[in-house]
Structure 1
């Protein structure tokens, strides 16, 4: 497989100028690993196996797992009302909103960045400087006093603000800062030794800068395009190896009990008007002929594109991290073409 898929990857990389890393494993065996492009263009530092990448919304699953851990501990319930587990006043929010609604993007609350109506993430920072957003509370003024967008439970509508609230619930229930909780209860347990929530103005070594390529052929980094520090709705940094470790820990019930791993991976709601695409808790689920084809994550920000998946029928984990705004999806599709041929 390795030579065949590497040929596919090289062709796709040449076509799209992909910059990043990819890793595919079956059990603990590496099927393919490759690294392309530069982590730091000015210094000509190449991406490699140790490079940490931002994964944008790809880390909503970490938030969902943390919620399920706290439910297991009896500190809250999936049917707990938002008003009963978070000491913040929302003047226009429906009192029927539960933790389950927030996890499945069915709460109907307003989003601070509504992907159905907004195209440019950078629009947000005209009124709210990105360097001031370093804690979850910093996001509340962007949405807490706005009216509901939909009725509770009406339909799936992807919502970043809902995951901000979940992060605040984690902080209140655990009495720990969100990032500390995730690093202690997920990253350490999964052996994700290089992962973390880092601030843009104090990034650790081996961290790729995110690049935005402009139409005139010039480029800029994404340092003025995203919040200064990621949180419960997105913005963690990982290596490709750490992400395969994460999938191993999750599907082998090392992060949750078997019961709550099953709850996390249950397809609760359709995300589109078809029979194949669903959402569980913090992750996407794709079916094929009624069977689950893959559990997958994706993340897109200016200067970030990320895809990762676990294919249960093949016991394959795949990770594609990029420090450009696009490219990860194309590489993941090439991986899936190869898997379809082999398995």
Structure 2
């Protein structure tokens, strides 16, 4: 669910006049292959065609290393593209790595500092962090894997690898503050907020069910804004129904079972039980 925060950060910078979602990424990363044809919009909507770093064989070799954003971009930027920009929708973590790097270049701050100052502190998300296994955090949930003979502690990774695509940690209470801030336009004006929750089209005119950081779907015809999260030892899912102001969240500290279906079922039940 980190991608929501990354996309809103990009829109905040656009709101400040520091970038445009129509900008090509070569404006910010001049040596990026084909960067003059890939826009920030393509990255936000998973339509860039660049290789998803989670599918690259060498990932295990860097998973426990401390990586800079530049090192992460260099890890995948020269991989063959999967398709031309705007041609297809294919969920892609690399795009959000690039977005995090652009946030740093434009703001002059580290990604985690930008998120902390401009989002967490601004709306009172006092129990949300850029994740690290080294920091002692009160009441922290520990992640687990399930093996054939029982549960084991999650694999240790460096959170500098998922970075702006999946390295934020939060609580249910803080995520409610996040949703309220979005509803009340505390971070984005109405124009920028609308961009986040608009369904976009591919080059051929086909509409995709994705905005900027959210899947835009429906439950029995009623529009929803949804997104899940998955990283070693943890899974999460959030479904917001804007027309009814219903927000259902599910967090799991085992990556053995996703809360996705349970969350969707609860959201559907909540709709049925409305007066």
Structure 1-normalised TM-score?
0.73
CA distance in 2, matches of 1:292, 1:331: 18
CA distance in 2, matches of 1:200, 1:67: 27
- Asked whether 1:139 is paired with 2:72, we answer yes
State whether residues 133 and 139 of structure 1, in contact with CA within 8 Å, keep that contact through their aligned partners in structure 2.
no
Structure 1 partner of 2:266: 335
Q: Label 1:81 to 1:327 Cα distance change in 2 as closer, same or farther (>3 A).
A: closer
Structure 1 partner of 2:8: 65
- Asked whether 1:213 is paired with 2:156, we answer no
- Asked whether 1:294 is paired with 2:228, we answer no
Aligned partner of residue 113 in structure 1, secondary structure: helix
State whether residues 159 and 167 of structure 2, in contact with CA within 8 Å, keep that contact through their aligned partners in structure 1.
no
Q: 1:126 aligns with which of 60, 75, 86?
A: 60
CA distance in 2, matches of 1:175, 1:310: 33
- Asked whether 1:311 is paired with 2:244, we answer no
Q: 1:78 aligns with which of 18, 21, 24?
A: 21
- Asked whether 1:111 is paired with 2:52, we answer yes
Aligned partner of residue 232 in structure 1, secondary structure: helix
Aligned length: 269
Q: Which runs of 5+ in 1 are unaligned?
A: 1-57
Instruction: List, as ranges, runs of 4+ consecutive aligned residues in structure 1 with deviation greater than 4 Å.
Output: none
CA distance in 2, matches of 1:292, 1:85: 39
CA distance in 1, matches of 2:60, 2:241: 41
RMSD over aligned Cα atoms: 2.2
Any residues of structure 2 matched to 1:1-343 within 5 Å, and which?
A: 58-87=1-30, 89-90=31-32, 92-114=33-55, 124-128=58-62, 130-217=63-150, 219-224=151-156, 226-229=157-160, 231-269=163-201, 278-287=209-218, 293-325=223-255, 326-343=257-274
State whether residues 153 and 233 of structure 2, in contact with CA within 8 Å, keep that contact through their aligned partners in structure 1.
yes
CA distance in 2, matches of 1:135, 1:342: 48
How far the C-alpha of 1:145 sits from its partner, in A, is 1.6
Q: Label 1:113 to 1:76 Cα distance change in 2 as closer, same or farther (>3 A).
A: same
How far the C-alpha of 1:232 sits from its partner, in A, is 0.8
Could you say which structure has the greater relative contact order, defined with CA pairs below 8 angstroms and 6 or more residues apart? Answer: 1
State whether residues 194 and 242 of structure 1, in contact with CA within 8 Å, keep that contact through their aligned partners in structure 2.
yes
Q: Label 1:299 to 1:331 Cα distance change in 2 as closer, same or farther (>3 A).
A: same
State whether residues 223 and 241 of structure 2, in contact with CA within 8 Å, keep that contact through their aligned partners in structure 1.
yes
CA distance in 2, matches of 1:174, 1:81: 17
Q: Label 1:81 to 1:94 Cα distance change in 2 as closer, same or farther (>3 A).
A: closer
State whether residues 306 and 328 of structure 1, in contact with CA within 8 Å, keep that contact through their aligned partners in structure 2.
yes
How far the C-alpha of 1:240 sits from its partner, in A, is 0.3
Aligned partner of residue 307 in structure 1, secondary structure: strand
Q: Label 1:137 to 1:86 Cα distance change in 2 as closer, same or farther (>3 A).
A: same
